[in-house]
Amino acid sequence: MSTHVPTRRSSPVAPSASLVVGSPTAVGHEGSIALTPQGRASLDERLREIRDVHLRRLRPLLSLRERDERDVADFERLCAEALSLEHLLGTSVTLAPTDCEQVEPGNRVQIQMPDGEHIWVRPVHPVEAFLDEERISVDSPLSHALLGKKVGDRVAVVGPKVTWTCVVLDVRSVEEGLGDARP
């Protein structure tokens, strides 16, 4: 009987050159990965889920005489993910709130797209970019274009095939919007 655990999109643990501590918005030691408070909480929850649910369910299946090797592979993959998350959470720092004068990592940013649509994005370290629809990696073309910009700035976003323009409408602090409500 297999209890195959669906694979989540994996998250890189190597530091991104563009979001390591060294800016005034991050708290901690030089060279540490900086996470948003919500990103840290989500990654910590994923670690608890791996330990308390998935590994606990898979462990007894490993000793069965006719075990399913997919269970073994899932167990090994989850153990590796847990170790990576433990290391990340133990060595990373948390971004501090900013004054929102300009776009910085972790800030919520409302932009107007070329078609007039208004969307919210949050430039974050790649390790937490997969956590929700709003988060985008600081290594993305949009983040590169937005970082350092202010409300009212027109921003040229250079993509792999096309360059497009958006307008910064609002910038909110790292801690704003931590709940489910989205303005």
Neighbour-count burial of 144, counting CB atoms closer than 10 A to its CB (0-12 exposed, 13-18 middle, 19+ buried)? middle
- Please state which CATH number belongs to domain 108-172: 3.10.50.30
Task: Provide the pairing of β-strand 154-158 with 163-172.
Answer: antiparallel
CA angle 30, 33, 38 (to 5 degrees): 130
- Nearest Cα to 55, choosing from 36, 90, 79? 79
13: pLDDT confidence band, cut at 50, 70 and 90?
very low
Angle at 84 between CA 95 and CA 46, to 5 degrees: 70
Q: What is the pTM of this model?
A: 0.71
In angstroms, the Cα distances linking 174 to 39, 81, 123, 159 are: 10, 26, 10, 26
CA dihedral over 24, 27, 29, 30, signed as positive or negative? negative
* Residue 47 token pair: 């670690």
What's the confidence (pLDDT) of residue 100? Answer: 79
Minimal CA–CA distance to 92: which of 144, 132, 39, 24? 39
Q: What is the pLDDT at residue 61?
A: 94
pLDDT tens-place string over residues 86-113: 999 999 999 888 777 899 999 999 999 9
How far is residue 107 from each of residues 2, 12, 122, 130, measured CA to CA in Å?
43, 21, 6, 16
Q: How far apart, in whole angstroms, are the C-alpha atoms of residue 97 and residue 33?
A: 16
Residues 46, 15: Cα–Cα separation, whole Å = 19
Upper half-sphere CA count for residue 45 (Cβ side, 13 Å): 8
183 falls in which pLDDT band (50, 70, 90)?
very low
Residue 142 pLDDT grade (very low, low, confident, very high; cuts 50, 70, 90): very high
pLDDT at 56 over 60: yes
* Listed range (18-22, 113-117, 176-180) with the worst mean pLDDT: 18-22
Residue 14 pLDDT > 90: no
